[in-house]
Copies of this chain bind each other. A is one copy, B any other.
Amino acid sequence: MSRELEDVSTPARLAQAGEGIGRDELALATRNHGLPLEALRYDVTPPGLHYVLTHYDIPYVPEDTSWALTMGGHVHRPLRWGMDDLRAFPAVTTRVTMECAGNGRARLEPRPVSQPWLVEAVGTADWTGVPLRVLLAEAGIEDGAVDVVFTGADHGVERGVEQDYQRALPLGVAAGEEPEILVAYAMNGAPLPPQHGRPLRLIVPGWYGMAHVKWLHEITVTATPFTGFQQAVAYRIRQEPEEAGEPVTAIAPRALVIPPGFPDFMSRARVVRPGPVSLEGRAWSGTAPVESVEITTDDGRTRHETDLDGTTHRWGWTRWRFEWTAEPGEHHLSARATDADGNTQPLSQPWNRGGFANNLVQRIPVLCLTSDGTPHR
């Protein structure tokens, strides 16, 4: 750790009471982006609408011909694959809903100062690649291995620590079949876009985004637990800075509403006209399949079960629907997902210092006009 770097790379902090979003948070918000919520309509998110978070710069990889993935460490046969080698393996495609671990952070009080997501850091894609367990089997794991470390080509400094982005999975997860981890080279049938890891990334179905290492070029099997920055310092659930904390892993259940009606440009408030309004949205959970989505249109006074679409995609989101009859006045909508393990969304906000894995129910104010006239310009 460099003394000099500490000048530009300061410790994590919490915003003061009433402190607006700062220039640093805004600089992250203008380059990263969420899913515009109306894009929840798409079963598979078009790539430019899928949420993106990059810690450092997006590496520039215009051609993938010289890209190589190495596997080393605690293995019998260190290996190296070019992109054509990887594409020669039988390909697996999995539909995966991915969410940033920091989704919801900007709604917390006090607010952890970092990427300021409100609720939109999500997206669903069909990812194609080679199962990681196949690559691990080729290399042969030595006895005593505990972690598998993934290194991306993205390089930067964070909280004073210069680093390539690195994350690990426990060997049991890395070599597992449920979920089956992918080393992916295609998104929705096309080569990965630069911001999604071109040419190669990890896909860990059901886990928050920090696990899906982008611009992946090195896999190392270790005989000791990995203690890199993104594993041991960042992405831990803590109340106090000195705690070891719990690691962030599987995605907690969440439901989002496709915003009904039309928006105001600035406030993003929603406006509908009286009468039938089809409410639809998506729900997902990394911990177990979504079992129910409940909706309220009167700020919680009454709650209704919604209709779920059956889906054969365990790791993708589920669509839900509810027919509402809007009456003039102000309304507050909320949808709440529950999964088969009984995990559900809190109705009041839990808090942790990193702002991770927050799945507070979304609350959408809707103004229903008194006029039932047709829209005018």
Question: A20-B21, A21-B21 in contact; A264/B156 too (CB < 8 A)?
Answer: yes
Question: Is the C-beta of A278 less than 8 angstroms from some C-beta in chain B?
Answer: no
Contact residues in B for A47 (Cβ distance below 8 Å): 47-48, 193
> What's the least CB distance linking A269 to chain B, in Å?
4
Q: Which of B28, B56, B118, B264 contacts A157 (CB 8 A)?
A: B264
At the interface, yes or no: A65 with Cβ under 8 Å from chain B? Answer: no
- Contacts of A24-79 to chain B: CB distance below 8 A: 24-39, 41-42, 46-50, 52, 54-58, 60, 62
Contacts of A376 in B (CB 8 A): 162
Point out the residues of chain B lying under 8 angstroms from A271, CB to CB: 5, 8, 157, 162
Q: Is A194 interfacial (CB-CB < 8 Å)?
A: yes
Let me know if B264 and A9 touch, CB within 8 A.
yes
Q: How distant is the Cα of A27 from the Cα of B194 in the complex, in angstroms?
A: 25
A267–B9 CB distance below 8 A: yes
Contacts of A49 in B (CB 8 A): 58, 193-195
100-115 of chain A: CB within 8 A of chain B = 106, 113-114
Q: Does residue A294 face the partner (Cβ distance < 8 Å to B)?
A: no
CB of A4 closer than 8 Å to a CB of B: yes
Q: Give the residues in chain B near A166, CB-CB below 8 Å.
A: 377
| Cross-chain contact B48 with A158 (CB below 8 angstroms) | no
Question: Is the CB of A185 closer than 8 A to any CB of chain B?
Answer: no
Could you say which of A29, A116, A162, A267 has the most chain B C-beta atoms within 10 Å of its C-beta? A29
Q: Is the CB of A22 within 8 A of B24?
A: no
Is there a chain B Cβ closer than 8 Å to A186's Cβ?
Answer: no
Q: How far is the CA of A351 from the CA of B42 in the complex (A)?
A: 41
Q: Please name the residue on chain B nearest to A19 by beta carbon.
A: B20
CA distance A106 to B39 in the complex (A): 26
Check B369 against A5 for contact (C-beta < 8 Å): yes
Interface centre among A9, A120, A259 (most CB of B within 10 A): A9
Using CB atoms, name the residue of chain B closest to A12: B266
A48 and B367 contacting across the interface, CB-CB below 8 Å: no
User: Are the CB atoms of A8 and B56 closer together than 8 Å?
Assistant: no
The residues of B that contact A195 with a CB separation of less than 8 Å are: 36, 46, 48-49
Contacts of A348 in B (CB 8 A): none
Chain A, 102-145, contact with B by CB distance < 8 Å: what is the 0/1 string? 00001000000110111011000000000000000000000000
User: Given the complex of chains A and B, what is the CA–CA distance between A26 and B113 in angstroms?
Assistant: 14
A194 to B47: give the CA distance in the assembly, Å. Answer: 10
User: Chain A 340-377 against B: per-residue CB contact (8 Å), 1 yes, 0 no?
Assistant: 00000000000000000000000000010111000111
Query: Is there a chain B Cβ closer than 8 Å to A2's Cβ?
Result: yes
* Minimal Cβ-Cβ distance residue in B for A154: B262
- A289 CB to closest chain B CB (Å) equals 26
Set of chain B residues within 8 Å of A266, measured between Cβ atoms: 9-10, 24, 28, 113-114, 158-159
Chain B residues with Cβ under 8 A from A19's Cβ? Answer: 20
Task: List 25 A–B pairs whose Cβ atoms lie within 8 Å, in order of A's numbering.
Answer: A7-B367, A8-B264, A8-B267, A8-B271, A9-B267, A23-B106, A26-B116, A30-B33, A30-B117, A31-B33, A31-B120, A36-B57, A38-B58, A38-B60, A41-B60, A46-B193, A48-B194, A56-B263, A57-B259, A113-B266, A156-B263, A156-B264, A157-B263, A157-B264, A162-B376
User: Given A7-B367, A42-B62, 15 more contacts at CB 8 Å?
Assistant: A2-B369, A2-B371, A8-B267, A8-B367, A21-B25, A24-B268, A30-B118, A30-B120, A31-B120, A36-B57, A48-B195, A48-B196, A55-B265, A56-B263, A157-B265
